[in-house]
């Protein structure tokens, strides 16, 4: 495929993403229907959303690349929650996930978690958070005011030290993603896109905040 670098390619419309997702869901229904209750995020992939109608999501931007979060958590309870965001990023785009659990006041961070590297599957991004206020040694018995989740998409994901102390090395986006977005994401555009602090390219960062379902800490 030849790209005109002077004109960023137009991201695929949301209608096309929904059509693809519906077709795949129908073909997989016979084998997936009994697996719905206990799906969790798997290494390197986003779990396909098992429930939730299109009306659970606000309309996406009319142009550019985007990540749209549902208006409420996709699945879970007062102890653990899963969120499945919709996106028009290319299939297989790697992303980093983050979650912050609030203490008794919203915005006051009790704990935070980081995850890497997951990939966009069927127009979906999967994230999850555990209600760490259920651990009274951390929270002092106070209820959590909620939590936030964050998706970060960059051209290269920096390596991190493994338990053995050895850096696991940087991770780059798959070649087919680079063809569409550019080696440095120079063709990544949209309201959630900004320049990297070191000036080496662009990134997309999107976040959402939620309340825990009541009652909390019952699992």
How many domains in the chain? 1
Whether residue 1 lies inside any domain: the answer is no
Question: How many CB atoms sit inside 10 A of residue 19's CB?
Answer: 11
- Is pLDDT at 70 greater than 60 in this prediction? yes
**φ/ψ bin of 62: left (φ > 0), alpha (ψ from -120 to 50), beta (otherwise):** alpha
* Res 86: pLDDT: 96
Whether residue 203 lies inside any domain: the answer is yes
Whether residue 6 lies inside any domain: the answer is no
Give the best-scoring range by mean pLDDT among 3-12, 81-90, 106-115: 81-90
| φ, ψ of residue 147 in degrees (nearest 5) | -155, 165
Whether residue 217 lies inside any domain: the answer is no
Q: What is the mean pLDDT of residues 201-209?
A: 97
Whether residue 58 lies inside any domain: the answer is yes
Residue-range definition of the domain harbouring residue 46: 14-210
Contacts of 165 (CB under 8 A, 6+ apart): none
- % of the chain at pLDDT higher than 70: 69
- Is pLDDT at 39 greater than 80 in this prediction? no
Whether residue 8 lies inside any domain: the answer is no
- Is pLDDT at 20 greater than 50 in this prediction? no
Whether residue 165 lies inside any domain: the answer is yes
Question: How many CB atoms sit inside 10 A of residue 74's CB?
Answer: 21
Whether residue 215 lies inside any domain: the answer is no
* Res 1: pLDDT: 40
Which tens digit of pLDDT belongs to each residue from 128-185?
999 988 888 777 778 889 999 999 999 998 865 445 554 456 789 999 999 999 999 9
- Is pLDDT at 21 greater than 50 in this prediction? no
- % of the chain at pLDDT higher than 90: 47
* Res 12: pLDDT: 54
Residue 183 gets which letter from DSSP? T
This model's pTM is above 0.75: no
């Amino acid at each position: 495929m030849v790209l005109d670098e002077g004109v960023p390619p137009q991201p695929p419309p949301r209608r096309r993403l929904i059509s693809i997702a519906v077709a795949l869901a129908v073909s997989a229904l016979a084998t997936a229907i009994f697996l719905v209750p206990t799906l969790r995020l798997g290494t390197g992939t986003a779990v396909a959303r098992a429930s939730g109608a299109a009306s659970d999501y606000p309309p996406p931007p009319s142009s550019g690349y985007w990540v749209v979060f549902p208006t409420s958590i996709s699945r879970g309870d007062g102890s653990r929650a899963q969120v499945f965001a919709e996106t028009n990023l290319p299939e297989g785009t790697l992303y980093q996930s983050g979650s912050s659990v609030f203490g008794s006041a919203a915005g006051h961070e009790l704990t935070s978690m980081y995850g890497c590297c997951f990939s966009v599957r069927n127009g979906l991004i999967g994230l999850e958070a555990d209600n760490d206020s259920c651990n009274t040694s951390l929270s002092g018995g106070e209820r959590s005011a909620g939590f936030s989740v964050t998706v970060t998409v960059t051209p290269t994901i920096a390596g991190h030290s493994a338990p053995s102390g050895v850096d696991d090395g940087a991770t780059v986006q798959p070649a087919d993603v680079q063809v569409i977005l550019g080696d440095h994401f120079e063709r990544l555009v949209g309201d959630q896109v900004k320049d990297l602090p070191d000036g080496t390219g662009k990134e997309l960062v999107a976040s959402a905040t939620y309340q825990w379902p009541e009652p909390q800490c019952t699992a």
